């Protein structure tokens, strides 16, 4: 049968079995090994159902309530190595969705369903954009500036429905989405200016991901934008974004603590705004405080004796003033490499201490082989950023290894000389325990890698010295003492030792009990290093309901923030409008703490 016929028949059968509420028959349309990834549409959750039994259970619980209908092919199905692939649209009782399926021999291997908008609460854009004025003569008319001034009193005259703590790209992007669907959301950030989280990072930093991957919701970077955005430029873009998107943002405002009253379904949040205490009472609290925001500094004997400078990578200003100084960098991931290169450029004598293997990928190679969906070529092929995000979402985490392993193998072959040169100086390499590379290292543990933009050559040519496979016994007044008995004289020690879990923010701002109840954020229980099981199939607690009512975690890289903020916003909007949002598969399992971030990981 041709792809079109196969796809149409399958979609019709699914539609029929769902309409007649026959979950088991619907599940029979799937292969033995099958995956249904749902973004909110059926589950009011972000969940992957693995296997027919799980699909049946979900449909028994949610099929009738969801009331899915109007399944239609969206574009022409195509044959690929994975089988017959096609896009489709559908409706539920409350919204409209898009989806993707891969069929093999007429049965479904992977299915994606996403809820894109709520009926009656569609975003006003394109043909439905607001007029912006009232034509005719109107006495005492409210101008745009008047309206903005009124809006700016959110949190003073009117309580926000949502309080977003953190005005980095995560908080701003989510704030923009909520604004577009009419949810009163206040964003607070302790920094004086939007974008400061980027501005405050070390001077040489440029985004490691290319521009096509990094667009914010609604406002893509212009075509002349450089491939790799310098961090201050990124900061300025975010500040402009907050203004253009008319976000309600309080800067110089720190969240001090938050308590939830289940009876009232409301948070009491104490914030300090420019030195003054303010109490806010939102119904929902989003922690967008950054997964790279809570510096993890190891405790090392003798730190109090050391007479030089020592700081975490997040506090490292840059290489100025370190010419001829002996600088030791503890750690061997992205920040460690960037800072090593920057110090070297400033004439410092740099040594990197690597305790465990690092995943290194060359920027040029990863762009060509790993990020092809986000590129000029993809755009020419009609794949815009939204489509690219959906294509990525169409592949459940469980099946990613089979797609990623061949790419990693190719990278290893193409860059064999590069890797040999690193091994020759003792640099320990990994490509992930199961050789799945960056594609899974990042969602599993959010660390452990370097996207090479030049520091590897300095290491391979010994211009940056390396001590590998070694731990730190302590610090003396003027040196780092290694556990093989050797000492590294040092004027500067930089702890490029990573960041704490977002769960830690909940412990700090709400309570250790709530953090414990919620459990780990990030990772999916792959059972690989620093991502212990049980397997959850999706990132734990991110962008979806968790064990604490009214609390949400939002974060990740620019691409994740952009994509997932859409589904987080729609979940909150549904609650704002009082729609029924029965959550299926609330993730109450998983480790209480996340070893990935909990130990002092000098990687």
Residues at the site binding ligand FAD, with contacts judged by CB under 6 A: 165-171, 188-191, 197, 201, 205, 207-209, 254-255, 288-290, 292-293, 335, 509, 555, 557-558
Question: Which CB sits closer to ligand FAD, 102 or 191?
Answer: 191
CB of 394 to ligand FAD, least distance (A): 21
CB atoms within 10 A of CB 158: 12
| Nearest residue to 345 (alpha-carbon basis) of 322, 313, 311, 315 | 322
Cβ-based nearer residue to ligand FAD, 46 or 558: 558
Instruction: Return the structure tokens found at 279.
Output: 């109490």
User: CA 262 to CA 286: how far, in whole Å?
Assistant: 16
Distances (CA, A) of 464 to 283, 309, 457: 52, 19, 9
Q: What Rg, from alpha-carbon coordinates, does the chain have?
A: 25
CB of residue 79 to ligand FAD, shortest distance in Å: 34
For the CB of residue 372, give the shortest distance to ligand FAD in the complex, in Å.
18
Question: Considering the complex, what minimum distance in angstroms separates the CB of residue 537 from ligand FAD?
Answer: 23
Tell the residue number behind the tokens 């949040």, with chain if given.
269
Q: How far is the CB of 240 from ligand FAD (least distance, A)?
A: 16
For ligand FAD, give the closer residue by CB, 256 or 307. 256
Q: In what order do the strands lie in the sheet with 276-280?
A: 253-261, 266-273, 276-280
Q: How far is CA 211 from CA 296, 371, 449, in A?
A: 29, 11, 20
Preceding peptide of 504 cis, ω within 30° = no
Minimum separation from the CB atom of position 438 to ligand FAD (A): 12
Q: Which residues of 120-145 are buried (b: 16+ CB within 10 A; e: fewer)?
A: ebebeeeeeeeeeeeeeeeeeeeeee
Between residues 91 and 196, which has the closer beta carbon with respect to ligand FAD? 196
* Shorter beta-carbon distance to ligand FAD: residue 294 or 467: 294
What beta strand segments (E) does 232-390 contain?
249-250, 253-261, 266-273, 276-280, 284-287, 309-312, 326-330, 349-354, 359-362
> Which residue from 589, 570, 590 is spatially nearest to 581, judged by alpha carbons?
570
Name the 3-class secondary structure at 387: helix
Q: Identify the three-state secondary structure at position 468.
A: strand
Q: How far is CA 584 from CA 43, 186, 414, 588, in A?
A: 5, 28, 44, 12
CA dihedral of 382, 384, 388, 391, whole degrees rounded to 10: -50
User: Least Å distance between CB 568 and ligand FAD?
Assistant: 12
Nearer to ligand FAD, 167 or 525 (CB): 167
Strand partners, 249: 187
Minimum distance between the CB of residue 430 and ligand FAD, rounded to whole angstroms? Answer: 20
| Least Å from the CB of residue 255 to ligand FAD | 4
Phi-psi region of 509 (alpha: psi -120 to 50; beta: other; left: phi over 0): alpha
Q: How far is the CB of 247 from ligand FAD (least distance, A)?
A: 13
If the CB atoms of residues 17 and 316 are measured against ligand FAD, the closer one turns out to be 316
CB 246 within 8 A of CB 145: no
Nearer to ligand FAD, 320 or 484 (CB): 320
Cα torsion 372, 375, 381, 385: sign: positive
Residue among 92 and 313 whose Cβ is closer to ligand FAD = 313
On whether the CB atoms of residues 110 and 35 are closer than 8 A, the answer is: yes
What string of DSSP letters covers 408-459? HHHHHHHTHHHHHHHHHTT--B-S-TTS-THHHHHHHHS-SEEEESSHHHHH
**Minimum CB separation from ligand FAD for residue 561, in Å?**
6
CB 194 → ligand FAD: shortest distance, Å? 8
Tell me whether residue 83 or residue 331 sits nearer to ligand FAD (CB atom): 331
Cβ proximity to ligand FAD: between 40 and 558 the closer is 558
Nearer to ligand FAD, 167 or 184 (CB): 167
Q: Which is nearer to ligand FAD, 381 or 600 (CB)?
A: 600
CB of 275 to ligand FAD, least distance (A): 14
Which alpha helices (H) appear in 446-557, and where do they start and end? 455-460, 503-509, 512-518
């Amino acid at each position: 049968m041709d792809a079109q016929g196969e796809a149409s028949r399958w979609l019709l059968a699914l539609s029929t079995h769902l309409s007649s509420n026959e979950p088991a028959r619907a599940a029979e349309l799937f292969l033995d090994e099958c995956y249904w990834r749902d973004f909110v549409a059926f589950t009011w959750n972000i969940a992957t159902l693995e296997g027919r039994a799980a699909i049946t259970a979900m449909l028994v619980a949610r099929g009738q309530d969801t009331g899915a209908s109007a399944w239609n092919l969206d574009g022409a199905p195509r044959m690929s190595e994975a089988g017959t692939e096609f896009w489709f649209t559908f409706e539920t009782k409350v919204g409209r969705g898009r989806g993707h399926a891969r069929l093999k021999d007429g049965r479904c291997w992977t299915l994606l369903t996403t809820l894109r908008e709520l009926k009656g609460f569609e975003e006003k854009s394109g043909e439905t954009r607001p007029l912006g004025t009232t034509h005719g003569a109107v006495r005492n008319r409210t101008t745009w500036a008047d309206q903005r001034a009124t809006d700016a009193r959110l949190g003073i005259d009117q309580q926000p429905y949502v309080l977003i703590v953190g005005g980095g790209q995560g908080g701003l992007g989510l704030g923009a989405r909520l604004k577009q669907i009419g949810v009163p959301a206040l964003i607070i950030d302790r920094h004086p200016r939007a974008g400061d989280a980027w501005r405050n990072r070390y001077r040489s930093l440029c985004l490691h991901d290319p521009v096509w991957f990094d667009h914010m919701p609604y406002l893509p970077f212009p075509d002349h934008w450089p491939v790799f955005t310098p961090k201050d430029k990124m900061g300025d873009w975010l500040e402009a974004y907050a203004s253009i998107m008319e976000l309600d943002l309080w800067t110089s405002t720190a969240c001090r603590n938050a308590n939830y009253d289940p009876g009232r379904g409301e948070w009491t949040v104490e914030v300090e705004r420019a030195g003054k205490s303010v109490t806010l009472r939102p119904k929902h609290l989003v922690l967008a405080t950054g997964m790279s925001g809570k510096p993890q500094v190891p405790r090392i004997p003798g730190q109090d004796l050391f007479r030089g400078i020592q700081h975490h990578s997040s506090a490292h200003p840059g290489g100025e003033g370190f010419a001829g100084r002996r600088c030791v960098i503890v750690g061997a991931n992205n920040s460690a490499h960037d800072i090593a290169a920057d110090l070297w450029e400033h004439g410092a004598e740099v040594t990197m201490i690597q305790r465990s293997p690092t995943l290194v990928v060359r920027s040029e190679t990863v762009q060509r082989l790993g990020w092809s969906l986000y590129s000029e070529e993809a755009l020419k092929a009609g794949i815009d950023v939204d489509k690219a995000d959906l294509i990525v979402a169409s592949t459940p985490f469980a099946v990613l290894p089979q797609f990623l392993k061949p790419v990693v193998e190719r990278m290893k072959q193409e860059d064999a000389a590069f890797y040999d040169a690193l091994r020759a100086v003792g640099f320990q390499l990994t490509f992930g325990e199961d050789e799945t590379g960056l594609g899974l290292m990042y969602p599993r543990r959010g660390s452990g890698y370097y996207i090479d933009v030049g520091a590897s050559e300095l290491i391979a040519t010994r211009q940056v010295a390396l001590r590998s496979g070694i731990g730190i016994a302590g610090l003396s007044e003027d040196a780092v003492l290694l556990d093989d008995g050797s000492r590294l004289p040092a004027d500067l020690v930089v702890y490029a030792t990573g960041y704490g879990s977002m769960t830690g923010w909940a412990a700090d701002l709400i309570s250790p009990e709530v953090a414990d109840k919620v459990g780990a954020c990030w990772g999916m229980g792959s059972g690989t290093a620093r991502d212990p099981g049980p397997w959850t199939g999706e990132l734990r607690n991110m962008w979806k309901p968790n064990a604490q009512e009214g609390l949400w975690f939002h974060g990740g890289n620019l691409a994740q923030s952009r994509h997932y903020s859409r589904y987080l916003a729609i979940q909150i909007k549904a609650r704002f409008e009082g729609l029924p949002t029965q959550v299926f598969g609330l993730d109450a399992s998983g480790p209480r703490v996340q070893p990935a971030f909990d130990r002092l990981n000098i990687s």
